[in-house]
Structure 1
Amino acid sequence: MIGWDAVAFRLAAGYDLCYHHGLELVFADPAYVACPTAFQDPVFRAPTPEEAAAVARRLGGTPPVLVAFEADAGGPQPVTCLIAAATLDVVTGTVLRHRPERLAPGERVTERVAP
Structure 2
Amino acid sequence: MELVFADPVLVRCPASFHDPVFRAPTPDEVRLVAAQVGETPPVVLVFEADAGGPDRATCLVAADQLDIVQGVVFRYWREVAPGERLAPWVQPPVA
* TM-score (normalised: structure 1): 0.63
Deviation at 1:75, TM superposition (A): 0.1
Secondary structure in structure 1 of the residue aligned to 2:70? strand
One-letter code of the match for 1:32?
L
Report the equivalent of 1:40: 18
User: In angstroms, what is the RMSD of aligned CA positions?
Assistant: 1.6
Deviations 1:15-64 (A, max 9, x none): xxxxxxxx110011000000011100000000000010011010101111
Instruction: State the AA in 1 paired with 2:13.
Output: C
Bigger fraction of residues in strand: 1
Contact 2:44–2:61, Cα closer than 8 Å, also in 1: yes
CA contact (8 A) 2:43 2:66 kept: yes
The one-letter code sitting in structure 2 at the alignment partner of 1:58 is Q
Percent identity over paired residues:
62
In structure 1, how many angstroms separate the alpha carbons of the residues matched to 2:66 and 2:36?
20
The residue that corresponds to 2:80 in the other structure is: none
Match of 1:49 in 2: 27
Structure 1 unaligned regions, length at least 5: 1-22, 96-110
Q: 1:76 to 1:38 in 2, by over 3 A?
A: same
Is 2:46–2:61's contact at 8 Å kept on the other side of the alignment? yes
Residue 61 of structure 1 pairs with residue 39 of structure 2: yes
Structure having greater relative contact order (Cα 8 Å, sep ≥ 6): 2
Distance 1:75 1:67 in 2: 21
Runs of 4+ aligned residues of structure 1 deviating over 3 Å after TM superposition are none
